[in-house]
Amino acid sequence: MNKLIRGFLFAVFCLAAAPAWAVPIEKVISPGGIEAWLVRQETVPLISLEFAFVGGASQDPANKPGVANMVSALMDEGAGDIDSRAFHERLEGKAIELNFRAGRDYFNGSLRMLNEHRDEAVNLMQLALTAPRFDTKDVDRIRGQIISSFQRDATSPNAISSKRWWATAFPNHPYGREANGTLESLPTITADDLRAYVKRVVARDRLKIAIVGNLDVAAAGVLIDRIFGQLPAKSDLTPVPVVDMQGLGQRITVDLDVPQTVITFGRKGVFRQDPDFMTAYVLDHILGGGSFSSRLYSEIREKRGLAYGISDSLVWFKGTALMIGGTATRADRAAETLQVIDSEVKRMADEGPTADELAKAKSYLKGAYALNLDTSNKIAGALLQIQLDNLGIDYMDRRSAMIDAVTLEDTKRVAQRLLKGGMLVTVVGRPVGTTSN
């Protein structure tokens, strides 16, 4: 996409910066019975659409991890009677942004289009979903690109640490497999594997859709039927077992000759529907939620200068929930960094946060949410996630009150629940004074 078009789209996105709750969220039921959520923005000539199918990398064959990732990379590489080059030329010519991505639980897609190019954008997205080509030359090219990235990852401490952490936490489970595949699995994946994945996963029954833009309910219904109406009614998914993470209390050190030592740490978390989730969310922000005010940032970065940054976050899937974080430090300070992390987690478990920390966290989390919804595509993404988490169409209106309802006693109780006991830690580099246990 040329710089002029990119600049224009950026300006359009910025015009769509009104808070999501300033405009009613409307439920759309298409003539074909497909549901979507819509936020109208009549003054902006742009439509942003986000959607997700339940599936993701958890639906990869056990002996062929990486199928979903390859599908996501190839669905815009030609469809129907349009080959890859012509498909991309049509996208570029109309400033249409079409993307796919595969997570562990979901296969996501997004479409951004100027309203005047709606017909072309809808036609291309519909073809990509219903008739992806998976031509041999394109499959081989994308496969080669992914394998090249794996070869780079073989010497990346971040990639090695993450891979080892997930494999240890979830052995013999889809979450423990490499979502992007492996050097061994990628050469075995065929176009037939990709078609089989699409046939099983890309269906209407497990589909969620969010739309933000200049169209009304009737037009939105027509649009979603045109894109999704020809998909199979039912998916054929393999159930993903609910699983507890393994390896708590274990520390794994991987020797790698790199300047910095990378640390990944984590423990069990809470599911999104857990009654304690909002309390855990506030608590995690105070402990290490990525802001400059978190305890881990203060102790690791500001007071001791052990690392440039450190963060921790809640992560939830359909089959498990985690608190996971990471940092990078000098090899000769890795042991001290780990000691400080352990000490701060234990202190939070024993004492909980202070009243001042709780008040500041509440204020930040309420304000930051609105600031993060500063473009139409971010609003669409938020609407989609609310649907996937089954939080209700009025969640944005209720969220601040839910945060305000968290008490100091709640945080102390949840700190005891979540932070007692050991973590799973992976350390990659040449750390001094740190070994596996």
Question: Is the pLDDT confidence value at 370 over 90?
Answer: no
Cα 399 to Cα 21, 285, 288, 316, 408, distances in angstroms: 11, 16, 21, 18, 18
Residues 171-182: tens digit of each pLDDT: 999 999 999 999
Question: Is the pLDDT confidence value at 55 over 70?
Answer: yes
Q: Are residue 45 and residue 77 in the same domain, yes or no? A: yes
Structural domain span for residue 72: 18-228
Q: Is residue 115 part of a domain?
A: yes
Q: Is residue 242 part of a domain?
A: no
Q: How far apart are CA 266 and CA 8, in angstroms?
A: 42
Across residues 410-435, what is the average pLDDT? 95
Q: Is residue 53 part of a domain?
A: yes
Q: Are residue 48 and residue 141 in the same domain, yes or no? A: yes
Q: Is 263 left (phi over 0), alpha (psi -120 to 50) or beta?
A: beta
Residues 287-329: tens digit of each pLDDT: 998 678 899 999 999 999 999 999 999 999 999 999 999 999 9
Confidence at residue 383, expressed as pLDDT on a 0 to 100 scale:
97
Query: Pick the residue with more confidence: 240 or 8?
Result: 240
Average pLDDT over all residues of the chain: 93
Q: Is residue 437 part of a domain?
A: no
Q: Are residue 270 and residue 213 in the same domain, yes or no? A: no
> pTM for this one?
0.92
Nearest to 262 by CA among 357, 358, 156: 156
Residues 182-215: tens digit of each pLDDT: 999 999 999 999 999 999 999 999 999 999 999 9
Total domain count, the chain: 2
Across residues 114-129, what is the average pLDDT? 96
Q: How far apart are CA 75 and CA 142, in angstroms?
A: 11
Q: In what order do the strands lie in the sheet with 106-114?
A: 25-29, 35-40, 207-213, 46-54, 106-114, 97-102
